Amino acid sequence: MRKIFFAIALSSALLFVLSGTPAGAEETRQVSSGTLRLTIAPSFGFQVQKFDSPDTGKVMAVSAGMGLEYGATDWFCAQALWLPGINAWSKMDGGTYGRFSDAFLGMKFGIIGENALVVRDNYRLAIAAGVITPLPSTDGSDHEGDYHLWGTALQFFYDRIVTPLFYLNLYAEFIYFPDQRLIGPNFTTRSVYHPLDMTYEADFRFRYAVQDKNMVLNWGFPQTIFFSPWINRNDPNAMDTMVTVTTGLFFTASFTGFKVPFDISLIYKAPILGRNVQPVQRLSILGRLYFSGSREQGTGSGE
């Protein structure tokens, strides 16, 4: 019980340090009991095409995010994620990215799995819930893709393990934003009603353990659909929907034989279809360090 209280207190403190929307969280495996996982994620975003919104212009951005997760038990962990994090540099036609992205502060529960409430070795199921907490968009644009709104998030993670070398990963996320004013450069005088964001992802993943090297290799090809059905619902002249279809790939090497195990991931995601969105491609390098946990902790999902 003390571990659970410690995890909650840690997450509450991080609320004032970390701020950014949930991203890169499409992983069903839990952080093991007593382990603190530190994530560092620099990324580069760039736009090479337009969809159906010619006013959005082109964009380039360099950002750096981070996250902390603590496993209070093998089936419960606290999360504080700031991804993509701080926008160190950006260039956009008609504006720039805001300096800070929003944050995800929440808790994740392992329902089914090797070390979950229901023990199974061929399925994994986890559920996470949390709060989106915003920071003001300094010198930002309404096209940056970050709303700077308070919201609540519910996430579902599922793995179907077909063989020791291959499994199917499914992910779904639902974010609800209450009616509120957007604190940003372009919507400071009116209320914006953007109630719901939905994300669905399917990913074929491969895993290979190099036993004599204490190394695990993972790679996969996530396919993602993002849908927001009622943007600007309070403005009859601006009501519309937001849709993005994204493809991607990742490769991860997990090194489990060190005193502090770690993962290194290379992730690439590119939108291929969309409406009312910035079609920004993103290349990320993601590093994860595992403190005081099992040396078998590295998951290598890259997500």
Domains defined for the chain, CATH in brackets: 2-291 (2.40.160.40)
- Asked if pLDDT for residue 299 goes beyond 60, the answer is no
**What confidence tens digit (pLDDT) does each residue in 222-270 have?**
999 999 988 777 677 777 888 999 999 999 999 998 999 999 999 999 9
- Asked if pLDDT for residue 297 goes beyond 90, the answer is no
Compute the average pLDDT of residues 182-200. Answer: 66
Between CA 198 and CA 245 the distance in angstroms is 12
Q: Is the pTM of this model over 0.85?
A: no
Residue 215 Cα distances to 163, 208, 218, 234, angstroms? 19, 9, 10, 53
How much is the pLDDT for 136? 67
How much is the pLDDT for 16? 32
CA dihedral 203, 154, 36, 288 (to 10 degrees): 30
Residue 243 Cα distances to 51, 83, 247, 271, angstroms? 11, 20, 14, 10
Between CA 212 and CA 263 the distance in angstroms is 17
Cα 289–14–81 angle (5° rounding)? 55
**What confidence tens digit (pLDDT) does each residue in 146-159 have?**
677 789 999 999 99
Percent of the chain whose pLDDT exceeds 70: 73
How much is the pLDDT for 186? 47
- Asked if pLDDT for residue 24 goes beyond 70, the answer is no
DSSP single-letter state for residue 244:
E
pLDDT category at 118 given cuts 50, 70, 90 is: very high
**What confidence tens digit (pLDDT) does each residue in 38-75 have?**
999 999 988 876 666 554 557 788 999 999 999 999 99
Between CA 47 and CA 270 the distance in angstroms is 9
In the chain, which residue ranges form alpha helices assigned H by DSSP?
2-14
Average pLDDT, the chain: 81
